[in-house]
Amino acid sequence: MRLEYFQMVDRVVALDPAGGTVRADCHVPEASPVFEGHFPGHPLLPGVLMIETLAQTGGWLLLARTRFARMVFLAQVREAKLRSFVAPGRALVASARLVHDGSGYAVMEGRLEADGKRVADAELTFRIVAFPTPDLRAQMLDAARRVGVAEEWWDAG
Amino acid sequence: MASTFDTVAGIISETCDIPRESITPESHAINDLGIDSLDFLDVAFAIDKAFGIKMPLEQWTSEVNEGKISSDNYFVLKGLCANIDALVAAKAA
Give per-residue pLDDT as tens, A26-68.
999 999 999 999 999 999 999 999 999 999 999 999 999 999 9
Domain contains A81: yes
Please report which residue ranges of B1-93 form alpha helices under DSSP H: 4-16, 37-51, 57-65, 72-75, 77-92
Domain contains A114: yes
Look up residue B2 and give its amino acid: A
CATH second-level architecture of B4-92?
Orthogonal Bundle (1.10)
Query: Residue B2: what pLDDT?
Result: 74
Q: Best of A105, A126, A127 to disrupt the B interface by mutation (most B CBs within 10 Å)?
A: A105
φ, ψ of residue A156 to 5 degrees: the values are: -70, 135
Please report which residue ranges of chain A form alpha helices under DSSP H: 33-37, 47-65, 134-147
The boundaries of the domain holding residue A32 are 3-147
Query: How many structural domains are present in chain A?
Result: 1
CATH of the domain at A95: 3.10.129.10
Q: Do B57 and A104 touch (CB under 8 A)?
A: yes
Query: Residue A154: what pLDDT?
Result: 81
Query: Residue A153: what pLDDT?
Result: 82
Query: Residue A34: what pLDDT?
Result: 96
pLDDT digit string (tens) for chain A, length 157 residues: 999 999 999 999 999 999 999 999 999 999 999 999 999 999 999 999 999 999 999 999 999 999 999 999 999 999 999 999 999 999 999 999 999 999 999 999 999 999 999 999 999 999 999 999 999 999 999 999 999 998 888 875 5
A-chain residues near B44 (CB < 8 A)? 102-103, 105
Domain boundaries, chain B: 4-92
Residue among A1, A106, A116 at smallest CA distance from A50? A1
